[in-house]
Amino acid sequence: MIIAFSTAGTTLAAPLDARFGRAPRFLLYDLAHDTFTVLDNAQRLEAAQGAGIQSAEAVARAGAGAVVTGHCGPKAFRVLAAAGMAVYTTDAPTVAEALARWRAGALVALTAANVAGHW
Partner 1 sequence: MSTATPPPHAPRPPTIAIASGKGGTGKTTLAVNLARACGAPVQLLDCDVEAPNAHLFMHGVACATTVFSVPVPVIDNARCDGCGACARGCAFHALAMVGPAPLVFAELCHSCGGCVQLCPQQAISETPQRRGEIETQQAGLVTLTLGRLDIGVAMAPPLIHAVKAGARRDLPTIIDAPPGTSCPVLAALRGADGVALVTEPTPFGLHDLRLAVAMTRTLGLPFGVVINRADSGDDRARTYCREEAIPILLELPDDRRIAEAYARGALIYDALPEYRAAFDTLWARLRALARAAQHD
CB of 85 to partner 1, least distance (A): 9
Nearest distance from residue 97's CB to partner 1, in Å?
29
Least separation in angstroms between residue 60's CB and partner 1 is: 5
Measured distance CA(24)–CA(106) in Å, rounded: 25
* Residue 83 or 115 having the CB closest to partner 1: 83
Which CB sits closer to partner 1, 71 or 75?
75
Residues 16 and 32: their CA atoms lie apart, in Å, by 21
> Where on the chain is the footprint of partner 1 (CB under 8 A)?
47, 49-50, 53-54, 56-57, 60, 75, 78-80, 82-84
- The strands making up 25-30's β-sheet, listed across from edge to edge, are 35-40, 25-30, 2-7, 66-69, 86-89
Q: 114, 71 in Cβ contact below 8 A?
A: yes
